[in-house]
Amino acid sequence: HVQLVESGGGSVQAGGSLRLSCAASVVISDNGCMGWFRQAPGKQREGVALIDRSGNTMYGDSVQGRFTVSRDNAKNSLYLQMNSLKREDTAMYYCAAQPWGCVMAVVIRSGSSINYWGQGTQVTVS
């Protein structure tokens, strides 16, 4: 039974920072990836950041330069450091895993091929 458990969400003022964590029970293969997606009320799901087992990363255009995704392979954990937060970053953030066959440039556009999702953690920027 695969589990992705997010933590670290909350409320913060614009310009502030938050760090999300995801504890994963799934192991990513050499061609898999993990990452973060978000969805705000009334909006489509948006790819935020992806990272593969080698540490290569890809970001959504709206967070490039402000957010940083990282992994701890030993702990099988995923992180998202969010700086310079804006009101438009307000959303439910989901940890996601595609253990194999991940083409990050494709996956980050829709996430439709993601195999496993967490329950989400709310981020509110005011």
Averaged pLDDT of the chain? 96
3-class state of residue 28 by DSSP:
coil
The mean pLDDT value for 41-53 works out to 96
Q: Give the pLDDT band (50/70/90) at residue 73.
A: confident
pLDDT value at residue 1? 84
Q: Give the pLDDT band (50/70/90) at residue 80.
A: very high
pLDDT value at residue 25? 95
The mean pLDDT value for 36-50 works out to 97
- In sequence order, what are the beta bridge partners of 93? 38, 121
The mean pLDDT value for 87-96 works out to 98
The mean pLDDT value for 84-99 works out to 98
The mean pLDDT value for 93-105 works out to 96
Q: Can you say how many angstroms the Cα of residue 87 is from the centroid of all Cα atoms in its chain?
A: 18
The mean pLDDT value for 56-72 works out to 97
